Structure 1
Amino acid sequence: MRSAAVVVTMMLSTAAMAQDGPSKADWDAINVSLKQLKDGRYLDAADILRSLAFDAAGKPKPGIFYSQWREAQTRMTAEPAGPEPQPSDGPEAKAAAERLVAATPRDAIAEIVARAAKTRVVILNENHGLPRDRAFALEVARALRPLGYSLLAAETFWNADDQAPMARLAKDGFPVHSSGHYTQDPVFGDFVRQSLAMGYRPVAYEEMGSGKGLSRAESIARREEAQSSSLAKVLAADPKAKMFVYVGHSHVAEEPIDGSGNAKQSWMAALLKAKTGIDPLTIDQVTLGQSASGYNGLARRVLAAKASGRSVVLFDGDRPMTVGQYAGAVDLQVYHPTTRMVKGRPDWLAAMGRKSMVIPAGFVPQKGERLVQAFIAGESDDAIPVDQVLVQAGKNVPVLLVPGDKPLRLAMQDPASTTP
């Protein structure tokens, strides 16, 4: 998905933006932040958003600015900014947790492989603020490749008219800052890098119109129609090709789900199914993932004991169990175990084929914080780092987690407001 800030800015006039609350200066700041991010200035991108994301007392201000700041911060740590929220005890949350008490866990990858062999389209979603989802996407890509899956379609890939970004991505074998928005995250970037090395071909399919003047429901409908049509054309052009589609949130729903008011909304997966006659394997890892709202906290507590440190899908007898917003609209829902921190880094990063690398003393700041980055030597200057981490003066120094079989180069970034 393109940055929410970009989408909203394109949809709203200057006058409408001012009437909605945020000023033109606020939106300009978001776009400056996005420009910094596209230039690879991760620290500066987050710092620009900080004043918009928090009030004078340092309390988060819910909304797009805090959401964008969280994403910017998460790109530098591979972990969500802030602690996991307290579980909601509302009726919906309790009902989901009660259903899951009786669920039987099965290994997620094994179940995905068994079902993916019976179709040619697998669709997996993500929470855009959780890099852990992207590490699991790499596990799925690895498991699907021996089944003949060779197309990697990612919502975030930049869908230019001339397809130049995808041509370069396929040629280079690694993402750059113009490949897409979410691929600027090192975890997402390495998921793509490793997938291309396995033989996947990148496919861009995002709708690129502005949707200006449309209602939210109309804008969604237009976007889902464009996405599904693009993917249907790719599948029709090569009837034997098998495709792994990586999306955000609701695009995975293969049945209409609740939309605005009492209306049902059809999303990309449902439209693609109707256009092609292909019944895709749809997998949701958002509902049971670490949430920004805490609505699924009770369910996660129930599942923690069932998972035994592995990613699982839940069954009621021989039938997959799905709960929450996508109940009945996806084939499988994945629960990932709670992250453990090892030497200051999330344990799941190691599953991406990483080894610990001690940060040299000369890269540790004497004051403030610094972003330390590891790049694969030989990749271009605009390549996405394979890993990066924030290092703070006077605190324990985390490790970098990097491939053990590739030469690397290290770099550092200090905030623009400070002198290294």
Structure 2
Amino acid sequence: MRLFQTKTHYISQIFNVNIQVYHLDNIKACYFSSPDQSNQNPIHRSNMVNPIFSLYWVWAIFFFASESDGFRDRGAVLGHHSPPAIFVFGDSLSDTGNLMAAFPFLADAENSPYGSTFFHGPSGRYSDGRLIIDFMASKWGFPFVEPYFENIVPNYRRGINFAVSGATARNVTEPIPFFLPLQTDQFVRFKRSVNASLNSEHKSDCLVSHVPEVKSFEDGLYMIFIGVNDILNSLFLNASAPPFVMEEIVPRVISSIFKAVQDLYKEGAKNFIVFNIPAIGCTPMVLTLGSSGPFNSTDGLGCLKDYNQVARYSNNELEKALAILTHQIEHINIMVADIYGFMLKTIANPARYGFDDRAKFKACCGFGGDPFNYNPLVPCGGNPAAKACSQPSKYTSWDGLHFTDAFNHRFVEEMMKSTPFPKFY
């Protein structure tokens, strides 16, 4: 939270610069067969070269669960095939380096000990290692999908990631200007640039091998993982009460996600995974900030009830909205990934999932010690006083809000086993 409070003005000021300026730096000679060809259509080339990160076919592993396991399957069996490409929209829970590339030296995740468990150094991810989408990609033999703002010979053959840490679902430019409607606009621009480039008589074999096939935009997998920043910013930056957030903020969040699915469908998208809002009342950050306020009642698990009620209400409204979409639109497949439910399962029985009961409410990387090891003024990666724990794999929370590599891994493993955490519409 401190990151966005102190650096917001810097971001909002430079946001007036055309976003495509980042793309102009991404032109790679590799994509063109001769120096003469590299001078043609620079705008199309620059747009074609900056996409981001990919996720991979995930449905097949879920289609064998019965309705009693928590699934609602509309009968669309996608089969045991990987998607041709994955297109990701979201925030820090799925950002694999966009914030770091777009705003250098801004994010705490650029600093150690972020990335220490798997990458052995910062990777732009808000975790000690891999994110959920990384594990999903690995399950299908995909490489990690690169960020939209990647500028070192990116390869988008398997998809692109538009997620940016701090982004909101609503059309809000603060604290981070890459809100969901802008991310979907960037996708449209990217798709058009790819199509134009592939139809060019000057395309090279290298270009063809580094961008999605045209049909991939129709048959690919579209992942949306956003909304929690809208809620947290309202609760803690704007000091709004939970009832206000449910009444005023949540409907706008759901409306934005609803419209994003509609807009992407108009561009040919058919297959969606939408992640719901995590159980924020169980996170070290919210437990620290909320325990001293008026909404500090806890439930039987030890989580803050009023804050989890906001998440639960959001998720119920999300499911209602997505159910409407599936009845309004033919040939659309939507799955909700229930990370809220999985968080509650791990809090209730940490040992079952390989976590330490004594660490279930603690940040691995933080400051302050028990009970939550979180201090907003001493953030992980932003202050050397914030230290990482010795066994991140025993923790669910990495920095007080984001998940550890171990949690992300276990969530994907449970999804692959057809547990109740994905739901179909």
Give the TM-score normalised by structure 2: 0.34
TM-score scaled to structure 1, two decimals? Answer: 0.34
